[in-house]
Amino acid sequence: MYIREIIIVEGKDDTTAVRRAVNADTIETNGSAINQSTLNQIRHAQEKRGVIVFTDPDYPGQRIRSIIEENVPGCKHAFLPRKEAISSKGLGIEHASPDAIREALSNVYELTEKPDNIFTKADLLEFGLVGNPKASDRRRKLGDKLRIGFTNAKQLEKRLNMFQVSRSDFTSAMEEILQGEQ
């Protein structure tokens, strides 16, 4: 599987794991210590070939993702569910199987400025994704099913809209989650 875009990862071990799974070029941010030089390199890559941000499913990974999106708008994003990025040695892209990495990269999202499918807090309330004792677990499962990552409620609303998740994909994923609870 060849990926035209340059994949943004956190470190050398992530690059090794990605290259085991796909034929792609990477840029390493060196963890959350992302500097202006790296941001300039990512900006140049975005202009020439496009980029896919593929960071670890944890707080530092989300922080890097946010810094990149703020400085280099229009990037594509791939997400790996935590359960697919964890091993006895730790959590991160480098611990994922080649199949899991290929799956994440085949489900890339592109951020858009004007979503057609606006989700609101009312949608989150309706499905118990906020204000419910099971809300956090449901958001985690939804993030895994839609491959958009785990977030708090406010970020989930934003991410559903940014990635233009369809109403039918959202509803069917939530129905599956709710049925699994019974």
Tokens of 45: 């890559």
* Structural domains in the chain (count): 2
Q: Kindly state whether residues 59 and 140 are assigned to the same domain.
A: no
CA–CA separation, 77 and 54 (whole Å):
6
pTM of the model: 0.70
**7-25 pLDDT, tens digit each:** 999 999 999 999 999 999 9
The type of residue at 142 is L
DSSP assignments along 48-102, one per residue: HT-EEE---SSHHHHHHHHHHHHHSTT-EE----GGGSEETTEESGGGS-HHHHH
Tokens of 43: 């900006």
Q: Kindly state whether residues 88 and 131 are assigned to the same domain.
A: no
Question: Residue 109's pLDDT is what?
Answer: 67
Q: Tell me if 101 is assigned to some domain.
A: yes
Residues 95, 117 contacting (CB under 8 angstroms) = no
Q: Tell me if 52 is assigned to some domain.
A: yes
Radius of gyration of the chain (CA): 16
Question: Residue 112's pLDDT is what?
Answer: 47
Please give the backbone phi and psi of residue 71, each rounded to the nearest 5 degrees, phi first.
-95, -25
The type of residue at 7 is I
Q: Tell me if 1 is assigned to some domain.
A: no
Domain holding 138, by residue range, is: 121-181
Residues 14, 93 contacting (CB under 8 angstroms) = yes
Q: Kindly state whether residues 44 and 104 are assigned to the same domain.
A: yes
The type of residue at 11 is G
Residues in Cβ contact with 123 at an 8 Å cutoff, skipping those fewer than 6 apart: 129, 157, 160, 170
**110-122 b/e (C-beta count within 10 Å ≥ 16 → b):** ebeeeeeeebeee
Question: Residue 130's pLDDT is what?
Answer: 92
Kindly give the parts of the chain with pLDDT less than 70: 109-117
CATH code, domain carrying 101: 3.40.1360.10
Q: Kindly state whether residues 148 and 105 are assigned to the same domain.
A: no
Q: Kindly state whether residues 28 and 96 are assigned to the same domain.
A: yes
The type of residue at 50 is G
CA–CA separation, 18 and 114 (whole Å):
31
